A and B are shown apart, each in its own frame.
Chain A
Amino acid sequence: MSIIPTIWMSAIVYASEITILSIGFTLTYLTAKIPNFAHGTYAGIGIYIAFTINKIYKINPYVSFPISFILGGLASVLIYFLVINVLTKLGGGSVVLTIATLAIQIFMTAAIYIYAYYLNRLFSTYTMGFMLKEADFQIGGYQGIFPVALLIVIVTVVVLHLLLTKTNTGIAMRATAEDPELSQVIGVNTNSIQVFSWFLTGGLACLAGAMIPMWFMSFPSSGAAIITSIMAGSLLGGLDNIYGAIVGGFGVGLSEILITTFLTENISVKIGEYRPLIPMMFLIAVLLLEPRGLNGVWERIKVKRQKRRGS
């Protein structure tokens, strides 16, 4: 029927979502210097925005993508102003801020569950364990989300690259990530840069979340559940390099589905249950072999080349 096997399509859609989420996770780590454990939960918000748009208001689910980008960004900015900014001003260290993000994750997951129960009561439909596959359009036998997800990833990467290298805001963002105090000295308003980056990360995460129910079964907790894959992708990329996060996120997302499928087909069906262990393996392997991830490997290669040239 179609040339590309379904499992590859599924892997690519999943990898695209993980890539976008990993980019956001890395961006937060760069600007705020904390691993944001609530990052996966933004995706949960996206999932329920898509659900509300399609199932309740009967609109095309693709309409929910821009809406979830904006709403997710606003939620993220709200979290920044209410919690992160306050704690930073009080002088909380990175551990305290990370605990705060964990608290936010617990709070938001519970809030999404409550929202799902609320919808269930109001409209008396099922609100957990749903898919929006049937609302998707078809292109030549393919589900529409497959090209759309790839397109969104490519556009995100290109736009982010242009933003970070060509515009003043992006350059200021990079400067803030490198050294906040020094960039303040040269006249960068670090506060507004922080707000902008939190908006961007929240929006991107929520956008990726809106893509999840188009292909996968979704629950209120499925956003919080993929945080391991996000962290693995981000760590594989080096945790301090956005281009690394693109490669890492795509690699982890692809391998998570492909390795599981390969092993279940060739060894035993039981292995499918161990799927969440794959990103953990990546995490542990990266930390043991090269804590700076692909970025560190790349830098090592660069140094070697320079030495060769010098000699």
Chain B
Amino acid sequence: MLDIIWSVVAQETQTRLIIDVALWFGLLVIVAMGLNFQYGNAGVPNFGCAVQVIVGGFTVSAITTRLAFFIVQQAGVVLKPYDSDYDWVYNNFWNVNVGSNPVIKANPLLGISLLLFSLAVALVLGAVMGWLISVPAIRLKSTYLMITLITMADASQIFGKNIPSIAGGTLGMFIPNVFEWYPGDRGVITAVITLAIGLISFLIFRTMLNSPYGRLMRAIRENEITVSSVGKNVVGIRRNILMFASGITALSGVLIAFYYSYVNQDLYQRAFWTYWPWLMLMVGGPGNNAGTFLGSALVIFMRRVIIQYKWYFDQVFFFPVAYFEDILLGTLLILTLIFRPNGLIPEKLLYIPGVNYAKLVREEVKVDWRRAPKARGKESKFQFRRKKEETA
């Protein structure tokens, strides 16, 4: 009897692990790809990606929830008041679970449109936030940019904590479950949608990289001065890249909010949403989407396994497992930087239609290496003189 129960539990655990890994892979690969787009290809070190993720979360809690309440009220359901800060937080649970969710259950279209609405708004607001945080330091050296961006994440968390009308302050708030109509596990459908959005953003990033704009980005990364000297607006391009990637990163915040059906500023900590994606980027190899995928998969799998077997680690350690994870994060990042500076999959040359790199290199070699030195050797006076000196 016990065996049967145990096998069911084990199977349940395993499926949960798979769903968990898929979901978190989808969520973090979006952030990591955005980072790869910014740092790996354009050399913009964005250490503020937690800000954009938080913007996604706050979009859902502050805008989508109000819209959902409004629509539900129009449909004839009587909700408790939610205008003042106090009512907003304390009637929130009733309004969401008793008021709004049954309506969404009856109308799947409402849920889907709410999801699409929040994704679209987050895309725009994320881009706006990318522009805002780039204002102080985008013109300056990249170290200044890092200094400002890394402080911004804390600032956004402070605002979330102290303005209850955004995300319920320290208590957090529930948000309408847009997958209420789905009969099965919410984790599964969120994972599927997250992976789909990850795939779409991968295709967008890939297309942009292989376009002339991608080559421009790489040129900026390699040498800003050269690019600006041929008449390109380097600051503008860097800002555009930051804005675009910020918009995509904000999608991740929306999806995690819908997965939990709950938003709290504490869920969007800088450590989690900035440092782990950076580790994924560095492990996989910056400047390479395949590398980002591999790095994300490895790191997520490691983290999820640690969390799944927390009970075991808790017996071994005398401190919470979170600090062990932090130690692991720091060590892995430094070891990657030292032993694998290019990541597990090194960067490849960009695909340019009509250009065959192998042929190009072969031709180059023919000209330079086989013929040129011989010709120079015969005619050069300098070499002749040096030979004379050697013999003398």
Give A residues with C-beta under 8 Å from B: 34-35, 37, 83, 86-87, 90, 92, 94-96, 98-100, 102-111, 113-114, 117-118, 121, 228, 231, 235, 270, 273-274, 276-277, 279-280, 283-284, 287-288, 291
Select one of A107, A117, A279 contacting B326, CB under 8 A: A107
Given contacts A90-B341, A283-B151, contact A103 B162 (CB under 8 A): no
Residues in A neighbouring B327, C-beta threshold 8 A: 107, 110-111, 114
21 contacts between A and B (CB under 8 A): A37-B150, A96-B337, A96-B341, A99-B45, A99-B278, A99-B337, A102-B47, A102-B333, A103-B329, A103-B334, A104-B330, A106-B271, A106-B275, A107-B331, A113-B319, A114-B319, A228-B154, A231-B151, A274-B158, A288-B136, A291-B140
Binary interface encoding of chain B residues 124-155 relative to chain A, with 1 for a CB under 8 A from any of its CBs, else 0: 00000000000111001011101110111011
Residues in A neighbouring B135, C-beta threshold 8 A: 288
Give B residues with C-beta under 8 Å from A: 39, 43, 45, 47, 135-137, 140, 142-144, 146-148, 150-152, 154-155, 158, 161-162, 271, 275, 278, 282, 318-320, 323-324, 326-327, 329-331, 333-334, 337-338, 341
Residues in A neighbouring B320, C-beta threshold 8 A: 117
A35 CB to nearest chain B CB (Å):
5
Q: Main SS of the interface on chain A?
A: helix
> B323 touching A113 by the CB < 8 A rule?
yes
Q: How far is the CA of A98 from the CA of B323 in the complex (A)?
A: 22
Select one of B45, B136, B329 contacting A95, CB under 8 A: B45
> B162 touching A87 by the CB < 8 A rule?
no
Residues in B neighbouring A35, C-beta threshold 8 A: 143, 146-147
> B330 touching A103 by the CB < 8 A rule?
yes
Q: How far is the CA of A235 from the CA of B341 in the complex (A)?
A: 30
> B330 touching A273 by the CB < 8 A rule?
no
> B147 touching A283 by the CB < 8 A rule?
yes
Select one of B148, B278, B330, B334 contacting A284, CB under 8 A: B148
Given contacts A83-B334, A90-B338, A110-B330, contact A291 B144 (CB under 8 A): yes
Residues in B neighbouring A104, C-beta threshold 8 A: 330, 334
Residues in B neighbouring A279, C-beta threshold 8 A: 151
Select one of B152, B158, B333, B337 contacting A273, CB under 8 A: B158
Q: How far is the CA of A109 from the CA of B151 in the complex (A)?
A: 17
Q: How far is the CA of A287 from the CA of B338 in the complex (A)?
A: 32
Residues in B neighbouring A107, C-beta threshold 8 A: 326-327, 329-331, 334
B285 CB to nearest chain A CB (Å):
13
> A103 touching B337 by the CB < 8 A rule?
yes
> B136 touching A110 by the CB < 8 A rule?
no
Residues in A neighbouring B39, C-beta threshold 8 A: 95
Since A104-B334, A113-B319 are in contact, a sample of 10 more A-B pairs with Cβ atoms closer than 8 Å, ordered by chain A residue number, is: A35-B143, A35-B147, A96-B337, A103-B334, A104-B330, A106-B329, A114-B327, A231-B147, A280-B154, A288-B135
Given contacts A117-B319, A118-B318, A228-B154, contact A98 B143 (CB under 8 A): yes
Q: How far is the CA of A87 from the CA of B151 in the complex (A)?
A: 25
Q: How far is the CA of A183 from the CA of B278 in the complex (A)?
A: 36
Q: How far is the CA of A283 from the CA of B146 in the complex (A)?
A: 12
Residues in B neighbouring A100, C-beta threshold 8 A: 333-334, 337
Residues in B neighbouring A92, C-beta threshold 8 A: 337, 341
> B162 touching A270 by the CB < 8 A rule?
yes
> B162 touching A287 by the CB < 8 A rule?
no
> A103 touching B333 by the CB < 8 A rule?
yes
Residues in A neighbouring B275, C-beta threshold 8 A: 102, 106
Residues in B neighbouring A121, C-beta threshold 8 A: 318
Q: Which interface residue of B147, B152, B161, B271 has the most chain A CB atoms within 10 A?
A: B147
A174 CB to nearest chain B CB (Å):
21
> B143 touching A284 by the CB < 8 A rule?
no
CB nearest to A285 among chain B residues: B136
Residues in A neighbouring B152, C-beta threshold 8 A: 280
> B318 touching A110 by the CB < 8 A rule?
no
Q: How far is the CA of A107 from the CA of B275 in the complex (A)?
A: 12
Given contacts A118-B318, A291-B140, contact A99 B162 (CB under 8 A): no
Q: How far is the CA of A111 from the CA of B326 in the complex (A)?
A: 9
Residues in B neighbouring A96, C-beta threshold 8 A: 337, 341
Q: How far is the CA of A114 from the CA of B320 in the complex (A)?
A: 8
